[in-house]
Structure 1
Amino acid sequence: MGKDSKQKDAGGKGKGKQTGGDENASKGKGKAGKSSDGLGTCTYVKARHILCEKQGKINEAYKKLQDGWLDSGDKVPPAEFAKVAAEFSECPSGKKGGDLGWFPRGKMAGPFQEVAFNTLIGATSAPFKSTHGYHIILCEGRKN
């Protein structure tokens, strides 16, 4: 209950221009409403992420992204996201700036896949929880 409200609060703060519509698209409009940008229809996504075991740490990373770019409505440049990932991420990919490369639909589990495939190219997701911990995703590309 508390986690969901925090996620929604974080998602709405400074990011409405970037990912607010795609969250609704995954639940409402689906494939038909977003086919031009590949949301819900692409086969592969290229992404970076930050993974933290504790919610407080992922919120700290997200705040750093907000203070630099998201509060002003800007998209986080991949190089800058990579610096924050290297500083905060507890995933081995953190050493590579959180780079996960290209991965197909079905490779990542549950909420991670849903967020990765429903985040606009160049946009940063709000923090969310998976079975591995708390994540922030930067979508860098999509293809079929």
Structure 2
Amino acid sequence: MGKDSTANKGKTKDAGKGKAAASEEKGGKGKGKAGKDELGTCTYVKARHILCEKQGKINEAYKKLKEGWLDSGDKVPPAEFAKLAAEYSECPSGKKGGDLGWFPRGKMAGPFQEVAFNTPPGVLSAPFKSTHGYHIILAEGRKN
């Protein structure tokens, strides 16, 4: 009996590890949630954005970024994003390549802040709508 209980203890430990590993591999639930929590807890974000009044225009800009970079698995370089921001953005920041610099939590409106603070550095957000229009955000950094 002692042998069986020892074997079961080992299996129970391994089974627990296997479930966690399987969870991370399937949907990244365990890892993804921790990553999201980590992203959501920073105090400042550095970002660029493109703002358009019309959804069709933001989708066109996103399509150019997607075809040029994302489809090949690359991250969009800030310089390339800046070129498109200067061309497409209707925000005054478009003249500066969409650069918003560093901003603290609470400075930006609801959906914009949510996306900016939950997009990992170097990653491009999908187009989304805010009270100001349609945006794409390129997160460049985060700090506390």
TM-score by length of 1: 0.76
Give the residue type in structure 1 aligned to 2:35.
K
Matches within 5 A, 1:35-114: 38-114=38-114
2:119 equivalent in structure 1: 119
In structure 2, C-alpha distance between the alignment counterparts of 1:34 and 1:89, rounded to whole Å: 30
User: 1:35, CA displacement in angstroms?
Assistant: 6.9
Using the aligned pairs only, state the percent identity.
Answer: 87
More helix by share: 2
The runs of 5 or more residues in structure 1 that have no matched partner are: 1-19
SS in 1 for 2:116: helix
**Which 4+ runs in 1 deviate beyond 6 A?**
none
Q: Are 2:31 and 1:34 equivalent residues in the alignment?
A: no
In structure 2, C-alpha distance between the alignment counterparts of 1:117 and 1:56, rounded to whole Å: 25
Change (3 A) 1:131 1:77: same
Between the two proteins, the alignment pairs up a number of residues equal to 116
CA RMSD across the alignment: 1.9
Q: Deviations over 1:39-88 (max 9, x none)?
A: 01100000000000000000000011011101111100000000000000
Larger radius of gyration: 2
Give the residue type in structure 1 aligned to 2:109.
A
Q: Deviations over 1:83-134 (max 9, x none)?
A: 0000000000000000000000000011000000000100000000000000
Contact map agreement 2:36 2:118 (CA 8 A) in 1 = no
